[in-house]
Amino acid sequence: MKNQDDIPLRPIGLQSIVFIWRCYQCLCLYGNLHRRIPAKPRKRIGACAPRRKSGFAALRFGVQPHSCIIGFVGLPTMPLPLATAPERAQLLANGEARAAGRAIDPVPVVRLFTPDAHVTWLLAALDPADGDTAWGLIDLGIGMPAQGTVKLSDLAGIVGPHQQPVMRDLYFRPTRTLSEYTRLAERDGAIPD
């Protein structure tokens, strides 16, 4: 039997059942008699998992998932940077103005959040001395947002309860100054969208 790539196929037996335990979730990679994979060196596996991380197992084994895998979600992608180059330049410019002692009320440049923990950071300036300490409005999700500083290197290592990293809001367009966001956040107990 041949497939569309003219590669001979061989059936997978039930002996190919493998369970992978990673942290607290189990991914099940399996083969059945009705699914066929190429016999040539192009390694492919069938992946089926009750959770969304079935692509992780394919990545761990260093194989290519077959395009006909039902329910295959996809391979994990690299996280986006916390600030793009233009945003970082604007953050540094605001930080230089703050360091020079000028009274500024900038608009936030970037909004960071954890998708599964309701924590939000509206960053307006970056310390030019180290390039890592950001200043802005911080909402830890406990109803008490306040202005403060945070290190971007610390944010890059934070994950929420479902292992989701801190992400940049790609659609954030500031409509107010940071002091106005702070006033509304203190009134409402959360940063307004």
Q: Is 178 a residue whose pLDDT tops 90?
A: yes
Say what the pLDDT of residue 2 is: 52
Report whether pLDDT(182) > 90: yes
Predicted confidence (pLDDT) at residue 124 exceeds the cutoff of 80: yes
- For residue 90, pLDDT over 60 is answered with yes
The predicted structure's pLDDT at residue 8: 56
Domain definitions of the chain by residue range: 9-65, 85-188
Give, in degrees to the nearest 5, the angle at Cα 150 between 146 and 155.
120
Backbone angles phi, psi at 178, to 5 degrees: -65, -35
For 42-81, write each residue's pLDDT tens digit: 444 444 444 444 444 444 445 455 544 444 444 445 567 8
Tens of pLDDT, residues 27-38: 333 444 444 444
Backbone CA torsion sign across 108, 113, 119, 125: negative
Distance of CA 151 to the CA centre of its chain: 18
Report the sign of the C-alpha dihedral through residues 69, 72, 78, 83, in that order.
positive
User: What is the 8-class DSSP label of residue 170?
Assistant: T
Range with the lowest mean pLDDT among 11-25, 77-91, 119-133? 11-25
Q: For a pLDDT cut of 90, what percent of the chain falls above it?
A: 45
Measured distance CA(16)–CA(95) in Å, rounded:
57
Handedness of CA 38, 39, 42, 48 (dihedral sign): positive
Q: How far is residue 103's CA from residue 99's CA, in Å, rounded to a whole number?
A: 10
3-state secondary structure 71-132: CCCCCCCCCCCCCCHHHHHHHHHHHHHHHCCCCCCCCCCEEEECCCCCCEEEEEEECCCCCC
**Residue 24 — pLDDT band, cuts 50, 70, 90?**
very low
- Give me the phi and psi of 100, to 5 degrees please: -75, -5
Cα 33 to its chain centre, rounded Å, is 37
The whole-model pTM stands at 0.59
pLDDT at 4: 54
CA angle 166, 169, 173 (to 5 degrees): 150
